């Protein structure tokens, strides 16, 4: 079985504790989607696929007046997830439309190009506020979930500072030209 872009996100979330497809989607929207693409349209087909290959097991369960299918990771799923987690190949991928715009900003008047940088800074500020809003103060996250959350906060803070420094640097460069 060839894993898809969402295999490990879905399998990992179910490994933390049994979940419905709705639960997986809700958690993805509040966490994983900020660094790993997983859309609603991908999650349910992936759940079916993972169940078909025996990596998860689903059972109907009433929940709040609705019957939902609750998925649990199987032994085969645990072994597959463990093998993926222990694999030494780690690839960092970045897909950032704002950065792509900045790359091509030399095609614009300088003030307009600097506006792109200020919009990027505002994007970081908005994301930082959003991430801070996710913290309910209860400190219930598992340690490595919290680690990734802290990375998100630090990344946004760094991004704001980087935009400030680069705007100052570019303004000096452009004034000297």
pLDDT in tens, 81-137: 999 999 998 888 878 899 999 999 999 999 999 999 999 999 999 999 999 998 877
pLDDT over 80 at 38, yes or no: no
Distance, CA of 7 to CA of 82 (rounded, Å): 13
pLDDT tens, position by position, 86-97: 999 888 887 889
The per-residue b/e assignment along 5-43, b for 16 or more CB within 10 angstroms, e otherwise, is ebbbbbbebbbeebbbbebbbebbeebbebeeebeeebb
- Average of per-residue pLDDT values in the chain: 92
pTM of the model: 0.80
Determine the Cα–Cα distance for residues 151 and 79; give it in Å rounded to an integer: 27
Structural contact between residues 59 and 18, judged by C-beta atoms closer than 8 angstroms? no
CATH number (1.20.140.10, 1.10.10.10, 3.90.550.10, 2.40.50.140) of 7-86 reads 1.10.10.10
Helix (H, G, I), strand (E, B) or coil at 140: coil
What pLDDT was estimated at residue 108?
A: 95
């Amino acid at each position: 079985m060839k894993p898809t872009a969402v295999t490990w996100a879905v399998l990992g979330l179910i490994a933390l504790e049994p979940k419905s497809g709705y639960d997986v989607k809700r958690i993805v929207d509040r966490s994983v989607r900020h660094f790993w693409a997983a859309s609603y349209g991908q999650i349910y087909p992936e759940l079916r696929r993972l169940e078909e290959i025996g990596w998860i097991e689903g059972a109907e369960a009433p929940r709040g007046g609705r019957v939902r299918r609750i998925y649990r990771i199987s032994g085969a799923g645990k072994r597959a997830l463990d093998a993926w987690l222990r694999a030494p190949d780690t690839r960092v991928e970045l897909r950032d439309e704002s950065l792509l715009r900045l790359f091509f900003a030399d095609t614009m008047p300088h003030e307009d190009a600097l506006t792109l940088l200020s919009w990027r800074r505002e994007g970081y500020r908005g994301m930082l506020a959003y991430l801070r809003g996710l913290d309910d103060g209860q400190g219930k996250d598992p340690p490595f979930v919290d680690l990734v959350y802290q990375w998100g906060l630090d990344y946004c803070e760094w991004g704001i500072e980087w935009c400030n420094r680069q705007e100052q640097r570019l303004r000096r460069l452009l004034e000297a030209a």
